[in-house]
Structure 1
């Protein structure tokens, strides 16, 4: 499954809905990764836990994994 490009922000500089636009753009990719992981045999709960762990680690380091 080839991943499509992530949608770009509507404006280069900050704007009111920028965070929402980013979440929606990335959310579509998270859904694709989730579906691929489930197809590979991981459960939805395992995938959620992995995403949470990645996000928590990312808050304290520049490395996602």
Structure 2
């Protein structure tokens, strides 16, 4: 598995959030493809990602 691309700068900059989304997007796609290969539907996977993100907003851990 390829490493996730690092931010362009150490400190905050204008497109940092966009850069982060692009950096992890490929990994999310890989997870999605693996989950679909295992038998989950795209809609189930999307719902799971949303639920994980919602949970993560209120806790310090993902699951």
User: TM-score scaled by structure 2?
Assistant: 0.95
Q: C-alpha displacement at 1:63, in angstroms?
A: 1.1
User: TM-score scaled by structure 1?
Assistant: 0.92
Q: Which has the higher contact order (CA 8 A, sep 6+)?
A: 1
Number of matched pairs: 63
Q: Which runs of 4+ in 1 moved over 6 A?
A: none
Q: Aligned partners of 1:59 and 1:10: how far apart in 2?
A: 25
Give unpaired runs (5+ residues) of structure 1.
Answer: none
Note the aligned Cα RMSD (angstroms).
0.6
